[in-house]
Structure 1
Amino acid sequence: MKRNSRLSLALHSVAHMASEPDRLRTSAEIAEHAQTNPVVVRRVLGKLRQAGILKAEKGHAGGWQLARAADRISVADIYLALDERLTPVSEDAPPRCSVEHALERRVSLIMDQAERDLIENLKGLSIAEARFPIDT
């Protein structure tokens, strides 16, 4: 799941935390495991802390850990905490062409429905469930 590195990093980190919920993990440790920078980790996991998914303890012996049980954290919780979207929200001026405007509006309605469907499906998958391999 490397399509979005923030979502991938968050899901990966939270799934590992779920395997040892009492263990604190430092940003440096998570960053090394994810092959990224600790600043990136703190930025991403900070959003999860704000959403009540993670808690962080500051200081030399501090670190990150789950704020609630893994079976009470859905993948949708993480997706929404990161303010993820299937398509970027356009901040461009509205199209001047009426055909483009109509097409954009129709496609936008479809994408909005797809986004709602995605979130609804992700609500049904907890981190506790997502940690285990899927039988194919």
Structure 2
Amino acid sequence: MRRDSRLSGVLHVLLHMAEVEGPVTSEFLATVMQTNPVVVRRIMAGLRDHGYVRSEKGHGGGWTIACDFRAVTLRDVYQALGAPALFAMGNRTEAPGCLVEQAVNAAMDDAFCEAETLLLAQLGRVTLAALSADFHARVAARGGHFSLETAHAV
């Protein structure tokens, strides 16, 4: 079963973008995300619509951070992506006639709702600034050197 990794990928590129001055191209971000630049532009459009990034066309253009990392949570980014389904599991049928399946669905629905509430609350507690601080602590623990150009060498 394929997982939706857009949130993880977008958080990844946002942290990379925060490390550079000036715009970063969709082509470069596609390399970081190991995908196509068109996919990057589609994903980043949602972030742009929420004011988290901005884009400039033409020579020297690309994507730049447009928000305060201290004010944006992982939940905010998740919502900017269109709030994709958090879980791959679900009920076999949504409106079963079988009483057994109705009981199963009720129990599963309660569990999914509770898990989703907890997950979204946790995502709402973590800011992009906290992710960035964790990244910088990891860089410092490895000797303090990080190169965006070599981090994702192809």
TM-score normalised to the size of structure 2?
0.74
In structure 2, the gaps of 5 or more residues are 139-154
User: Does residue 10 in structure 1 map to residue 13 in structure 2?
Assistant: no
What is residue 52 of structure 1 aligned with on the other side?
51
Provide the identity percentage. 37
Count of residues in correspondence between the two structures: 132
Segments of 4+ moved more than 6 angstroms: none
How far 1:34 sits from its partner (Å)? 2.3
What is residue 25 of structure 1 aligned with on the other side?
24
Q: Which has the larger radius of gyration?
A: 2
What is residue 87 of structure 1 aligned with on the other side?
87
Residues 1-136 of structure 1: matches in 2 within 5 Å?
3-20=3-20, 22-82=21-81, 83-87=83-87, 93-131=94-132, 132-133=134-135
How far 1:93 sits from its partner (Å)? 4.9
Work out the CA distance in 1 between the residues paired with 2:57 and 2:51.
Answer: 16
TM-score normalised to the size of structure 1?
0.82
How far 1:105 sits from its partner (Å)? 2.2
AA partner of residue 12 (structure 1):
H
Work out the CA distance in 2 between the residues paired with 1:58 and 1:105.
Answer: 50
CA displacement 1:81-125 (0-9 Å, x = unmatched):
2212322577x6522212212211221122112111111111111
* RMSD across aligned positions (CA): 2.4
Shifted more, 81-90 versus 68-77: the winner is 81-90
AA partner of residue 65 (structure 1):
T
Change (3 A) 1:16 1:96: same
